[in-house]
Copies of this chain bind each other. A is one copy, B any other.
């Protein structure tokens, strides 16, 4: 690729709407442009990176025994009605009607389509296990698209689905995908962490997310310093400290005029927030439910959903307070409280000497003991882990870090095969539901995540395996015939070996060339300049380390060949 004719529209300034490095740099370096909110065009260099990631994904999927298919983007409503997700998916699914007024969704994921395909074409235990994947466009009408490709509305995903005869088979398939995912992210140049995760709209029992730690990540991960425990904070659990104890005295009413929040009452009474019981009112399937958590903790809605067994719940809004006037906003407390259910965090079991709302305007109760003054219908794990909490597995210390979710794997079990009647006949002729798994990688999101981990103030630092080119050839003062012909010779020698290279054949100043090269971030750079005039050497620069070495063209080719060979060694051996 010659830069004079390549479409690489670099920009001096960052786009106004770019809040994160990957978004900023992809636009500035001419890798992508915005078409509409959450919808982007990938230009030649961006498309190359995507194709490189796709190649790694394909190699690892094929090596792990998965088979590539191509599923349609348009999915008929009828299939989604079978799984119950047509209504459940809500406005996140892009929908349209065809000219015959039939409803279609633009696939945000393909469980329904693949389950339909397999139930119609597989009927015997002999044909299982089966693992199918595709790489293609996905659509999600995000409420708030942001961060460029990190949260877009149209994006490229690899999605895969496994079908097994039993739970044990599913776990094997799951593990194979889990391992392959790890290799994919490693080969793509990322450091990553697999964490226990919630299953959300996809469903199923067990799930792991693959997180690329990065400051801009929208997920928080809790991980243990001492063992390999790691989980999304929406799910992470932790060992509670011994409950606080009171002095055994009876609870007493305290006047707390106009003090409604924990912060206000805590500072008014001079007691730490951990001495308080936060009593949160939720409307759960149209009934009032009280949720108790320690005053210094937040209720975790994902955990709450699991505990409640429904996603139809919300924290009281203005209307709810009006509808149930016996709950006094700011002064609700568990003592003497009437509610459909009272659920407390396990930390509150046995706690004493606590402060809580008195269910009376401008009053709190102090010296409240759980067990004596109130109790809960259930004690559950409903608060989020935070930095410094105790690991549930080894009692080490938990740390919290931000991460970008680049992949997720799910043990689905029978979630789709049961309602959609995806059955097979076992060796005894008995009809059984297939046990499924589902596996996704955000390809375009991974591209952004790689940049978040690999950039500096001057531009991107592409890992070799996904880089848009191996080598950037920079002849300085291109009008000088000798330098030009040396650069061209090098270019042609690389092309002959099938390597992607970018030759900066523009008649631009050295400053412009270096700035663009830094921005674009191709791993190796060959500078043909003064050294070439003096003794025929070319300077090989490594973008990541800044390392520079002068050498003749043959040595340079040798070094690059080594890098290419090392990369090839990472490819799976297919058999």
0/1 interface trace, chain A 106-144, chain B, CB 8 Å (1 if under): 100000010011001110001100101010110101010
B117 touches A36 (CB 8 A): no
B69 touches A44 (CB 8 A): yes
CB neighbours (8 Å) of A351 from chain B are none
Kindly provide the distance from the CB of A97 to the nearest chain B CB, expressed in whole angstroms.
8
CB neighbours (8 Å) of A143 from chain B are 99
CB nearest to A75 among chain B residues: B35
Interface residues of A in 178-211 (CB under 8 A from B): none
B41 touches A68 (CB 8 A): no
A154 touches B35 (CB 8 A): no
A66 CA / B199 CA spacing, docked (Å): 43
B91 touches A94 (CB 8 A): no
A67 touches B95 (CB 8 A): no
CB nearest to A134 among chain B residues: B47
A96 touches B95 (CB 8 A): yes
Kindly provide the distance from the CB of A478 to the nearest chain B CB, expressed in whole angstroms.
14
B47 touches A69 (CB 8 A): yes
B113 touches A154 (CB 8 A): no
CB nearest to A444 among chain B residues: B70
CB nearest to A113 among chain B residues: B35
A337: CB under 8 A from chain B?
Answer: no
Stretch at the interface among A4-12, A241-249, A383-391, A533-541: A4-12
B9 touches A122 (CB 8 A): yes
Kindly provide the distance from the CB of A112 to the nearest chain B CB, expressed in whole angstroms.
10
CB nearest to A50 among chain B residues: B70
CB neighbours (8 Å) of A65 from chain B are 5
- CB contact between A47 and one of B70, B122, B139 (< 8 Å): that residue: B70
CB nearest to A100 among chain B residues: B37
Interface residues of A in 538-575 (CB under 8 A from B): 574-575
Kindly provide the distance from the CB of A397 to the nearest chain B CB, expressed in whole angstroms.
42
0/1 interface trace, chain A 1-38, chain B, CB 8 Å (1 if under): 10011110100000000000000000000100101100
A495: CB under 8 A from chain B?
Answer: yes
Kindly provide the distance from the CB of A91 to the nearest chain B CB, expressed in whole angstroms.
5
A251: CB under 8 A from chain B?
Answer: no
A86 CA / B304 CA spacing, docked (Å): 47
A40: CB under 8 A from chain B?
Answer: yes
A96 touches B94 (CB 8 A): yes
A154 touches B495 (CB 8 A): no
A72 touches B41 (CB 8 A): yes
A574 CA / B500 CA spacing, docked (Å): 11
A72 touches B35 (CB 8 A): yes
Kindly provide the distance from the CB of A23 to the nearest chain B CB, expressed in whole angstroms.
16
CB neighbours (8 Å) of A98 from chain B are 94, 141, 153
A72 touches B40 (CB 8 A): yes
A248 CA / B4 CA spacing, docked (Å): 72
A71: CB under 8 A from chain B?
Answer: yes
Kindly provide the distance from the CB of A65 to the nearest chain B CB, expressed in whole angstroms.
7
A73: CB under 8 A from chain B?
Answer: yes
Kindly provide the distance from the CB of A558 to the nearest chain B CB, expressed in whole angstroms.
22
A349: CB under 8 A from chain B?
Answer: no
A139 touches B74 (CB 8 A): yes
CB nearest to A136 among chain B residues: B137
CB neighbours (8 Å) of A33 from chain B are 117, 120-121
Q: Other CB < 8 Å A-B pairs besides A9-B122, A36-B102, A47-B68, 18 of them? A: A6-B67, A7-B67, A9-B121, A30-B121, A35-B74, A36-B104, A39-B72, A42-B69, A43-B117, A46-B70, A47-B69, A47-B70, A73-B73, A73-B139, A74-B139, A98-B153, A99-B141, A495-B575
9 contacting pairs across A/B (C-beta < 8 A): A5-B65, A6-B67, A7-B122, A36-B104, A41-B69, A43-B69, A44-B67, A73-B137, A74-B94
A-B CB proximity, top 5 nearest: A96-B96, A42-B70, A9-B121, A44-B67, A91-B99
- A residues with a Cβ closer than 8 A to B are 1, 4-7, 9, 30, 33, 35-36, 39-44, 46-48, 50-51, 65, 67-76, 91, 94-96, 98-99, 102, 104, 106, 113, 116-117, 120-122, 126-127, 130, 132, 134, 136-137, 139, 141, 143, 153-154, 156, 492, 495, 574-575
